[in-house]
Structure 1
Amino acid sequence: MVNWSGTQGVTTRRLFQPENEEQLQRLIRWASQAKQKVRPVGMNLSPNGLALQEGGMLSMTELDGIKGHPTKPRRGIDKEKNTITVQAGARVSQILAELQKHNLTLENFSSITEQQIAGWTQVSAHGTGARIPPVDEMITSMTVVSPAKGLMTLREGDSWFPWMRVALGSLAVVQEMTLKVRPRYMLHERTYCCNYAELERDHAKLLQTYRHVRYMWVPYTDTIVVVVSDIAKPGAKAVPALPEERRVEPLKRLLREMQPDCGSLEGKNFAELREKLLVLDPLNPDHVAKVNRAEAEFWRKSSGERIADSTEVLGFECGGSQWVLENCFPCGTIDSPNLKDIKYVQEMKGIIERERIAAASPIEQRWTSRSSSPMSPAYSKEANALFSWVGVIMYITSEDQAPAIKEKFREFAMRHADLTFKYDGFFHWGKVDLAFHKGDRRKTLQENIAKKFDVKEFAGLKKELDPHNVLGNDITDAVLWG
C-alpha cells in the first residue's frame, strides 16, 4: 500500500474490503474480539501515510453509494434541506458530479477531489475562504461503526458528534454521512502579482472582500502571486490572461539555456516544464532560485481573470510527486486580521534565503474560519476566529534523488515546524510526519499536541469506543499516548 505522493508505503498483512454495510459491521465486531487491526484507508492520499498499518487495513472502496435504493431510501439528495447522504467510500469528485445534476455543489473543497468523503472530513481538510470553515463542518449527521459500541447514528447536538467528525479514523469507522450542500455557483477569479509592501497594505481588505483568497509566495524573489475569487455578478466579463504557450516562455528559455539538447518543448505545460528544470539540480539553491525566478516571470505573464464553475476554479494543479508539510495557526478574526499570517510566511521566506534552502515555489497560503470539532487544527470556541494554512514542499524529481531530497526536506520541514509552534499552530493531520520528529523534537511535538487539543478527553473516548485499538496506528498512537 503506497500513498499518492509515493513517499510512504507499507506491506500490510491483511486488507479487508466489505461489499456492504452488514459485512462492515460484522467485520468490526469480529476485529474487536480478535484484536485484529483494521485501520481504515480511503484513497491513501495523505502525504504522511495516515492510513497505513502493517497489521491490517480496511478499504471502503465498495461502500461508495450516493443514490437511494429500496432498503436505504434516505440516501441521496434532499433538495428541501439542501443535504446529500452518501456512504463513506464515495469520492468527493463523485459527489460533486452527482450534485451538479441537480444544480447543487459543496460549499468548499480541496484542490484535489479524489479523496473518499470519510477520510477527507476525518482529517478536517480545507479549501480556502476566510468565512468558510474546514470541511468537517459540512456534516450534519453520521452513522459510524465502533468496535465496542457497534452501529451508532450521531447528529448535531449529540455530545460525541463533534469529536467523531474529526477523529482521524481512530474512534470508529464511518459508514455514511449527511452533508450540507448549496446551489451551484460561478466564480469570477482574478490572478495578479505583488510584493510584500503591497500585500501588507491590501491583505485585510482581500480577506474581507473575496470569498476565496490564496497566495503563492515564490522564494528567492519578491513575487507573491495573489488568486482571489468571488461569486460572479450577472453580466460580468473577464479579462483573460495570455495563452499558456506565451506564459511558459520564460521556463522554456531557461531550459534551453541549461540543457540545449532538451528536444522539442512544444505542448509542454507549466508543471511539466518546471519539473524538467528542477530535476537538473534540485538540491542546489542557486539552481532552484533561477527556476523560481523564471516561474515568477510566468506568473507575472499569467495576470488575468476567468469566470467558471466553482468546481473548476477551486481545483488546481498541485505539481508532481512531492514532500509536503502544512500547518494551521490562528491569525485574529475576519473582522480584525492581525497580519500574523503574512508575517509568518515572510519570516519563513527569510529563513529559506538566509540558510540557502533549495525551496522550490510555491509556499502556498490559504485561510478558513474556525471548526467546532475539538480535534480540528482550526478548532476554536470563538465564532469569528480566522486561521491560516501554510504549506511548504520539495518536489521528488527522480527516484535516484529521492533519498537526498527527503533528507533535505526534513531539515526544511523542521524549520517550518519551529515557526509553527512559535505562532501557536499545529499541522494538517494528513501531513504531520513522525519521521521528521525524532528525539527532543518528538517530545516537543507531543507537548504541542497536548497544548492544542484536549487529548485526555479524546483518549477517554478512544478507550470507550475502541478499547483494543484495532483502528489505530503509529500516528494516532503518538497523538493519544506519546
Structure 2
Amino acid sequence: MFTSRAKIAQRLLRRLHGTNATPLAKRPARPSVTMGRALALGLGGAAGLLGSAMAVASLESDDAVFTNWSATHSCHPAKVYHPESLKELIDIVATHHAQQKKLRVMGSGVSPNGLGFSDDSILTMSAFDRILHVDAAKSQVTVESGVVVGDLLSHLRTHGLTLQNVASIREQSIAGVTQAGCHGTGAAIPPMEEQIVSMEILTPSQGLLTLDDPSDHRFQLAKCGLGGLGVVTKLTLQCVPMHKLLETTTLYTLSELKKVHASLLVENQHLRYMWLPYTDKIVVVTCKPYTDGSPIGSRISDDIEFRLEELRALYKQVATVPDPDHVNWRFTQLRDSLYALDPLNARYIARVNETEVSFWEKSQGSRVALSDDVIGFDCGGQQLVSEVAFPSANGSDLTFMEDLLARIERDQIPAHTPIEQRWTASSRAAMSPASSPLQEQVFSWVGIIYYLHEASPSLDAIKDAFVDYSKLFEDVMAPYGAAEHWAKLEFAPRSALERHVLKDRLRSRFPLEAYRTLRNEWDPHHILSNDFVDELCSTDL
C-alpha cells in the first residue's frame, strides 16, 4: 500500500499565508500539523493540516478558517474532525446522527462555490489517503477516498496505468472530483464519476454500504452525490494503460473552425477550444494517442521571450510603474496582470485579448508527453468562474458560442480569456450535469471567467460585474437545456424570485425527488448536507 501524507502536509505548509504553523510530534506514516488561527488554502487535502493526538481529532471554532482556491468562499467551522481510522469515522458520524448535528464532508476545498464548506462541523478525509490495491489484469485501482489525484496518477505510472481523464487541478481528492461531477475533455470520455466501478459509503442511518451494481439507482445517485448522501470511504476506479499523447495547438478563425469541427470531435481523444472574446480567433488544442517513432510535425517554440513579446510590450506601455519582475512572468501571470490594470473596461479588455492572439500565433505546434502530463493545464490565478454543460448535436455547440460572443459584444461585457469549451460523453450518474440515458450523447461544457488579481483595486466591483456576466450567460444557455457544474453553481446573490427560477430549472433537469428520497433514507436528519445541498433539496415554490 502507498501513502503520501508527509509529502502532502509539507506541500500545504508552504501554501499557508499569515499563520504560525507548528508541527506536532510525528506518528509513523501519519504526520499532522495543528495551526493557530489558520487559513487553509484548500489545495491538495488542505484539511490534512488539521489534526491532534485525540482519538476524535478536532479544532475549536477559533482555530480554523478554510478558504477555497480562488479565495471567493470561506467557512469558519465550529469543529474540524480529522479521523485516522474507519472506527473513528464511524463513531464521529454516529455521534452527529444521534445528536442530529450537522457534519459536512470536505474534500480539498477547491470548489469555486465552496461546495464542501460549512460553518457547522467539518469532516476531512485527508488521512484516508492510501492506495489499497492495483489489479493489473482488470486495469483497476482501489483507493481510499482522500487520495489526491496527482499522487494517484504518479503511483499508477509505476504499474503502467493512468486515469482515463482528469480535471485540470491535480490537488483535488478523488472523492471530491467524483462527488462534484468534475470532468476532463473528450467526446468519447465521460466525466470522472463514470470511472467508479465500486464505492464504499458510510451513511448515518444505514451504516457502511458497498455499491457496485450499475443497474442500482442508489449507485447512480451516489456516484455524483454532492456529499449529501453519505461519506465516501473507498473507491475502485477503472484505469487505462499509460500512454503518450500528441498535443497540437492551432489557431483558427470561426469560419475555418466550422469546416473541421465535426471531424475534430471524432478524430481526437481529447479536444479543447479556447475562445478569445472580441477577436475572431479560437485556440484549438487537440490530443491523439502517440506511438514512438511517429511524426510529430512542427514543435511548439520554446522561445518564451519571442512568444510573449507583444504582451510584454503592451504591459510596459500601459502599466504606470511596471513590475520589474514582469520579465520572469509566465503567460498566465502576464495576462492576469494586464487585466488587473483595468479589469472592467471592455475596450481595454478587447485590446488585451487582441494582443493575446499574437502569443497563440507563436505558440502553435505540437508536443509529445504522457497523457496525464498533457491533459492538465495552467488555469491562471484567482478567479470567478461559471460553467455549464448541454447536449451537443447538429452544431449546437458552435451556435451556443456564437450566441454568447454576440451578447458579450452587444452588452460590452469585459470578457476575460479564455471562454473554455470542452466535451464529454454522457454519464449514467443521475446527478451528473452530463447525465443521459443515451450512451452516444455528447455534452459540451462552456466556462466563463473573470480574474481576481491581488493588485486590482476593484475586487468588489469585479465580483458585482461577474454577477451581471453570469446572468447574461444564463440567458444564453436557456434555449440549450444547459445545466451548471455543481462546483460552480451559486445560489447567492439571487433574489427569492431568481432562486425560484433556478431551482425550478434544476428540478426539470435532475431527479431531485429521487435524490431527496434517498437522502431521507440514508441521512434522515440531513446532517451531511450544508446550506447548498439543503437549498437544492428544498421543496419551496
TM range (shorter): over 0.9
One-letter code aligned to 1:30: T
1:272 — aligned with what?
A: 333
The SS at the match of 1:327 is strand
Instruction: Indicate whether 1:241 and 2:300 are aligned.
Output: yes
Instruction: Indicate whether 1:313 and 2:374 are aligned.
Output: yes
Structure 1 residue 252, shift from structure 2 partner: 0.4
1:255 — aligned with what?
A: 315
Instruction: Indicate whether 1:167 and 2:228 are aligned.
Output: no
Structure 1 residue 170, shift from structure 2 partner: 0.1
Unpaired stretches in structure 2, ≥5 consecutive residues: 1-65
Structure 1 residue 403, shift from structure 2 partner: 0.8
Is 1:41–1:60's contact at 8 Å kept on the other side of the alignment?
yes
Between the aligned partners of 2:512 and 2:327, the Cα distance in structure 1 is 54
2:30 — aligned with what?
A: none
Residue among 385, 391, 413 paired with 1:324: 385
Between the aligned partners of 1:236 and 1:436, the Cα distance in structure 2 is 53
How is 1:42-61 mapped onto 2 (pairs within 5 angstroms)?
42-61=107-126
How is 1:22-421 mapped onto 2 (pairs within 5 angstroms)?
22-66=87-131, 75-157=132-214, 158-238=216-296, 239-242=298-301, 243-259=303-319, 261-262=321-322, 263=324, 265-332=326-393, 338-398=394-454, 400-421=457-478
The SS at the match of 1:323 is strand
Is 1:245–1:267's contact at 8 Å kept on the other side of the alignment?
no
RMSD: 1.2
Instruction: Indicate whether 1:422 and 2:479 are aligned.
Output: yes
1:71 — aligned with what?
A: none
Q: Deviations over 1:318-368 (max 9, x none)?
A: 000000000000012xxxxx1111111111111111111111111000000
Q: Deviations over 1:266-309 (max 9, x none)?
A: 32210111122111111111111111111111111111000111
Between the aligned partners of 2:450 and 2:94, the Cα distance in structure 1 is 42
One-letter code aligned to 2:446: V
Residue among 410, 435, 441 paired with 2:492: 435
Structure 1 residue 259, shift from structure 2 partner: 2.3
2:5 — aligned with what?
A: none
The SS at the match of 2:354 is helix
Comparing 163-172 with 256-265, greater Cα deviation is found at: 256-265
The SS at the match of 1:4 is coil
Is 1:421–1:448's contact at 8 Å kept on the other side of the alignment?
no
Higher relative contact order (CA 8 A, sep 6+): 1
Is 1:96–1:105's contact at 8 Å kept on the other side of the alignment?
yes
Given the two structures, how large is their TM-score scaled by the length of structure 2? 0.85
Q: Deviations over 1:21-73 (max 9, x none)?
A: 1111111111111112111101100000101111111111111111xxxxxxx
**Distance change in 2, residues 1:237/1:244 (3 Å):** farther
The SS at the match of 2:229 is coil
Percent identity reads 38
**Distance change in 2, residues 1:368/1:467 (3 Å):** same
Given the two structures, how large is their TM-score scaled by the length of structure 1? 0.95
The SS at the match of 2:428 is coil
The SS at the match of 2:445 is strand
Number of residue pairs matched by the alignment? 469
One-letter code aligned to 1:276: S
Between the aligned partners of 1:140 and 1:470, the Cα distance in structure 2 is 27
Structure 1 residue 104, shift from structure 2 partner: 0.7
Unpaired stretches in structure 1, ≥5 consecutive residues: 67-74, 333-337
Q: Deviations over 1:346-400 (max 9, x none)?
A: 1111111111111111100000000001110100001100100000000002364
The SS at the match of 1:408 is helix
